[in-house]
Structure 1
């Protein structure tokens, strides 16, 4: 007999199931905006989430910040931009504006299966809902007096061959502590299977999972899932292919743009012109080079045709803006490489100098010197820094701020500083070198070697009135002839007829320079070789213009003075030797010991020429027929009654010798010796490198160096040096002509043998 009513136990079980289902239902307030929930933006409340709900509703029409979506028991911040752009999140066609979008939970038991849920789960994949943490504490079940629990082995199956195969379709529900089939849950919602409807928790019959996997229902759901997944992947592949194609297109454009900018920047020419119009004659070097390349590059020609003159608002990567951006990027990259190499080398030296640019801004140039790991010395320009003052303190602050603050280079690692010999740089108390030594006493000051000879020449040329007048005359002579093609032609015709045109160009007058004194040497050499020809050109009668004729007569009169001829031969001889020495000092492979020796040679030459006044006088006489120097009247104070009425006359040859020749020679010798002394002091600290000292002198030199560089060298340096001197002679590839190789040769040997 069938019972018409349920038993009391059945009623209680049914009531418990109803209460459990009610507890799982969503509160209706969770589908609307709750102003009490704190959002990521103060002015927008685009998201509403309940602390107890497992799903979140987002109003896509008002989303302006990250939305807090609760999956299971963890709150996850989800940005609306991420939802629309991520390749692992729902497709764009499912997120419609002005609609409420409910994101499915990571718990499969709480899913409401519809088209959106299906597409969302396909897009994000299986990982977000598998919930495999390896613990499954609440999955314990009592069966026939024994406790059964879910473990990770349920997610795998063993093939007949013993191979372990993962079951990716199997997902765990934390709310029901059951297992669900991912495919069947989505695409067979009406199935009566436990793996689809209420979940599987018969841990004592775990083998039934294999039966489900082989069932027709599961295979149909798997087929449906595969078809949906193929459509989504095809769409994503089409979108990805389009993005790759567009990326490759612009990559090819930028390759040509960057190559053009690199070439023009290397040549040091301007990039921009008067306009940015393709086809214009004044569009500048950058666009002009692109037009030239486009004649042989169909790809670039097509790009210019499509994007060349589109104006603002259209991306073309052909404007002056992109040039400036790339130049800045390249400059930053090069600067960073230099800084990285410098930090890897640790120790460095630096040099600064200032120059005025065309915009009348004083720019401080910063150059660093260091040695690479392959033992190659490197000199690199690092930065331009505008300066408003030239005081030693201000320049030091600029150096310290640039190195320490901007480039993160520790000034404590500096071992040398070099500038010109201006007082604001080299002063012992307030100069830049004194400020740097106050911070780092190991930053030895070395006067700039290439500036030394120039500065000595400048000081000597300004030592007396005759020297100043002479250089002004040389400049005026160049201005006179170069100011007219007719006068330049007269000078060319007056040169030796047998001289070829190329040689004549070398003999023409040269323009003087305040900075580059080798130009002075070339100008005086030209004048010395063509003194009579220049004088002849000034005396041509075809110069009929009164002003021009007067200027020519004035220049010719100056050239007729024996003082002018003397100065020409004297300065031509001195500056020629100084120029040759200066060029050798500027060699990239020059070391300090060789430089000191070279610097002594012009000093010894000038000292030897102090008694050569008569030799220069004879050379001047060969240029002119004038037998003596000009007579100059010496002015006296008011005569007394017994004073002679004859004007006092002094032998001007002696006066010129004392006041001009000796004054110039004395200043040259004194300034050269002062600079040689500064370099010699530094060289003496490293004189052991020359190998010309006995063991006692080497030991004393190394002892002094160890005390000075106490944090860099150890006390065993003498024993190491003795061992190295013995080793280096054996490792040298060629027999040595001197006791030891040069310092650069030593570096090369160390690098070759990894010492």
Structure 2
């Protein structure tokens, strides 16, 4: 048990059984792909693959199935890696009914991007750009139309670059933080307790990192006194006239009423949309509720400009299936248009059958069966259809509901996997090989699945890997 090779085999057995449980839960049904790339601590490019599917009970599930090291990040190489992973689990691209990526060109490119290559294999694998990223880009684009806000973003970015330009300045910033904290505690302005008064870093905002501007502005306000202290010291101790002039200019700009007012204003505004961003990151969030959430913040027009005609038709069809307000948005024509976007699943005969089912379905769930009254969204509708066995009576309607739920709206599950990757493969364990990293990260991310895997299954898989001298 002290052998590294044996430990790696046991970890691999845990990963295999965890993914096996996920694939069994999928049960050969349709699924959506969520894919993203990130570099690990050793600068290797890693691709995380997640599946989104509707289980037998009608619940929307998102599951992480693996991390793949990719030497070449071209769309063709990424596609091959995805195909290989799916094939290893007896899955194919023909079952893909949704894709979700960030805005990288190798993913979203219309001509040779990953989404286009996958759609060539499955015409119904519609791609949705991560809503959280789109919301962030929309907020940045709209806010920068105001010159003063654009100047604020640039000022904060430049000040943070100056403060982080050397270890000496970072140390000075931290020392000032400690002094301010001690003074506040001595004056009774802060309470001491576990988890309180954590050190706040200087977060740099990024146009594609959701919530980063909110966190950046918030931390800038919280650390304002320490930031001023470092700039003051730099004005006095600058090694060159240019550095002194730059620090002096930033110091004056930071201390104006307009800058302070805009910092608090934008923090309040972005705080509201931050709640929306958090809502969009929920695993079971569906695209219909996401559109309703966005409407509350009057951003729908700006977001609509980022959707092509196909996605717009899909969203219109999904909205018509949403059971909120007793299916008040129900429109057969828009739903039929939605079915035309799934040519591999609906032919002429099934579309006529669907229209008949829809006519009966709308009367049943809106006027007769009280169990369907006051449902909160497509997720609840899916679960209620399975619970009442009506998914068998309205099989084509349920298929459309399932397709609507498969459309992913955020890459949060993938990003959680990358957070786990940085925790598992850190500075002290930066030589961890790819197979061992993948073996560790899958059970770690999918804890709920892994805890239900029996020791007997893991032992059996471990024993079956190779001939062993000892039986566990």
Normalised by the length of structure 2, the TM-score is 0.66
Contact residue 689 and residue 742 of structure 1 kept, 8 A: no
Who is 1:117 aligned against?
none
How far apart, CA to CA, are the structure 2 residues paired with 1:539 and 1:423? 39
How far apart, CA to CA, are the structure 1 residues paired with 2:56 and 2:143? 45
Contact residue 48 and residue 67 of structure 2 kept, 8 A: yes
How far apart, CA to CA, are the structure 2 residues paired with 1:382 and 1:694? 36
Who is 1:686 aligned against?
318
Who is 2:77 aligned against?
394
How far apart, CA to CA, are the structure 2 residues paired with 1:366 and 1:709? 24
In the TM superposition, residue 458 of structure 1 has moved relative to its aligned partner by: 6.0
1:164-243 aligned at under 5 Å gives the runs none
In the TM superposition, residue 482 of structure 1 has moved relative to its aligned partner by: 5.1
Q: Say yes or no: does 1:719 pair with 2:359.
A: no
Deviations, residues 590-644 of structure 1 (Å, cap 9, x unaligned):
2111101223444549xxxxxxxxxxxxxxxxxxxxxxxxxxxxxxxxxxxxxxx
Counterpart among 175, 178, 181 of residue 486 in structure 1: 175
Contact residue 332 and residue 358 of structure 2 kept, 8 A: no
Who is 2:468 aligned against?
none
Deviations, residues 552-599 of structure 1 (Å, cap 9, x unaligned):
756533423456435523532343233221001112232111101223
Who is 2:409 aligned against?
none
Who is 2:156 aligned against?
470
Other structure's SS at 1:716 match: helix
Q: Say yes or no: does 1:546 pair with 2:237.
A: yes
Gaps of 5+ in 1: 1-316, 606-668
* C-alpha distance 735-340 of structure 1, shift in aligned 2 (>3 A): closer
How far apart, CA to CA, are the structure 2 residues paired with 1:491 and 1:552? 21
Who is 2:393 aligned against?
none
Counterpart among 333, 336, 339 of residue 703 in structure 1: 336
Higher alpha-carbon deviation: 564-573 or 690-699: 690-699
How far apart, CA to CA, are the structure 2 residues paired with 1:415 and 1:734? 26
Contact residue 34 and residue 51 of structure 2 kept, 8 A: yes
Contact residue 417 and residue 444 of structure 1 kept, 8 A: yes
Counterpart among 35, 43, 61 of residue 378 in structure 1: 61
More helix as a share of residues: 2
Structure number with bigger Rg: 1
Deviations, residues 391-414 of structure 1 (Å, cap 9, x unaligned):
33332233233324x333121111
Who is 2:134 aligned against?
452
How far apart, CA to CA, are the structure 2 residues paired with 1:592 and 1:507? 37
Contact residue 731 and residue 749 of structure 1 kept, 8 A: no
* C-alpha distance 345-744 of structure 1, shift in aligned 2 (>3 A): farther
1:622-641 aligned at under 5 Å gives the runs none
In the TM superposition, residue 328 of structure 1 has moved relative to its aligned partner by: 0.8
In the TM superposition, residue 446 of structure 1 has moved relative to its aligned partner by: 1.1
Counterpart among 185, 190, 202 of residue 500 in structure 1: 190
Q: Say yes or no: does 1:586 pair with 2:281.
A: yes
Contact residue 38 and residue 47 of structure 2 kept, 8 A: yes
1:616-695 aligned at under 5 Å gives the runs 670=302, 672-675=303-306, 680-690=312-322
Deviations, residues 141-189 of structure 1 (Å, cap 9, x unaligned):
xxxxxxxxxxxxxxxxxxxxxxxxxxxxxxxxxxxxxxxxxxxxxxxxx
Who is 1:637 aligned against?
none
Contact residue 475 and residue 511 of structure 1 kept, 8 A: no
How far apart, CA to CA, are the structure 2 residues paired with 1:573 and 1:462? 16
Who is 1:651 aligned against?
none
1:89-488 aligned at under 5 Å gives the runs 317-342=1-26, 344-404=27-87, 406-456=88-138, 467-474=153-160, 476-477=162-163, 480=169, 483=172, 486-488=175-177
How far apart, CA to CA, are the structure 1 residues paired with 2:312 and 2:67? 32
Which protein, 1 or 2, shows the higher relative CO under an 8 Å CA cutoff with sep ≥ 6? 2
In the TM superposition, residue 336 of structure 1 has moved relative to its aligned partner by: 2.5
Contact residue 509 and residue 523 of structure 1 kept, 8 A: no
In the TM superposition, residue 366 of structure 1 has moved relative to its aligned partner by: 0.8
How far apart, CA to CA, are the structure 1 residues paired with 2:155 and 2:265? 15
Higher alpha-carbon deviation: 356-365 or 592-601: 592-601
Q: Say yes or no: does 1:522 pair with 2:215.
A: yes
How far apart, CA to CA, are the structure 2 residues paired with 1:333 and 1:438? 32
How far apart, CA to CA, are the structure 2 residues paired with 1:377 and 1:704? 24
In the TM superposition, residue 493 of structure 1 has moved relative to its aligned partner by: 5.4
Contact residue 30 and residue 95 of structure 2 kept, 8 A: yes
How far apart, CA to CA, are the structure 1 residues paired with 2:235 and 2:317? 67
How far apart, CA to CA, are the structure 2 residues paired with 1:367 and 1:601? 30
* C-alpha distance 462-402 of structure 1, shift in aligned 2 (>3 A): farther
How far apart, CA to CA, are the structure 1 residues paired with 2:92 and 2:183? 62
Other structure's SS at 1:505 match: coil
In the TM superposition, residue 338 of structure 1 has moved relative to its aligned partner by: 2.2
* C-alpha distance 468-720 of structure 1, shift in aligned 2 (>3 A): same
Normalised by the length of structure 1, the TM-score is 0.43
Deviations, residues 431-461 of structure 1 (Å, cap 9, x unaligned):
2111111221111111112322234456679
Contact residue 369 and residue 378 of structure 1 kept, 8 A: yes
Other structure's SS at 1:360 match: coil
Gaps of 5+ in 2: 391-472
How far apart, CA to CA, are the structure 2 residues paired with 1:385 and 1:354? 9
In the TM superposition, residue 700 of structure 1 has moved relative to its aligned partner by: 1.0
In the TM superposition, residue 416 of structure 1 has moved relative to its aligned partner by: 0.7
In the TM superposition, residue 376 of structure 1 has moved relative to its aligned partner by: 1.6
How far apart, CA to CA, are the structure 2 residues paired with 1:528 and 1:511? 12
Contact residue 372 and residue 384 of structure 2 kept, 8 A: no
Q: Say yes or no: does 1:742 pair with 2:377.
A: yes
How far apart, CA to CA, are the structure 1 residues paired with 2:86 and 2:190? 54
Other structure's SS at 1:708 match: coil
Contact residue 52 and residue 61 of structure 2 kept, 8 A: yes
